Amino acid sequence: MQASLRISVVFCALAAAQIASAQDRSSIGAGAEVYQTHCAACHGERLVNTGSTFDLRRLRADERPRFDKATKEGKGQMPAWGGVLSAEEFDQLWAYVRSKADD
């Protein structure tokens, strides 16, 4: 009985991980579209532009608040996107940027 319960728990955990992974891929794909539409012109196709823009690949996982503040309120020459993008689009954009991170 205990063995079958353990096996069931393992299968449930694996299924949950697969669902989460599919959701992550979906968010990353949607974030790539947001990036191409709103960010790539300045930040480059690969999240880095040799000009004066910030190399987005350098953002660490703990820098989400910094990312949110800069993207929603604007910074330097970058416009504020807070009134343009939805909360879901910001989450998707963050997922995409993190998927390309150097760390």
CATH number, domain of 74, equals: 1.10.760.10
Query: Alpha-carbon distance 55 to 49, whole Å?
Result: 7
Q: What is the pLDDT of residue 54?
A: 84
Q: How many structural domains does the chain have?
A: 1
pLDDT tier, 35 (very low <50, low <70, confident <90, very high otherwise): very high
Structural domain range at position 15: 2-99
pLDDT tier, 8 (very low <50, low <70, confident <90, very high otherwise): low
pLDDT tier, 52 (very low <50, low <70, confident <90, very high otherwise): confident
16-18-23-24 Cα dihedral, nearest 10 degrees: 110
**Which structure tokens are listed for 3?**
């063995």
Q: How large is the angle between the packed helices 64-73 and 87-99, nearest 10 degrees? A: 130
Give the model confidence (pLDDT) of 60-95 as tens digits.
999 999 999 999 999 998 999 999 999 999 999 999
**Which structure tokens are listed for 40?**
């790539």
Please check whether residue 31 is in contact with residue 67, taking contact to mean a CB–CB distance below 8 angstroms.
Answer: no
Query: Alpha-carbon distance 33 to 36, whole Å?
Result: 5
- Helices (H) and strands (E) counted in the chain, each on its own, are 4, 0
pTM: 0.74
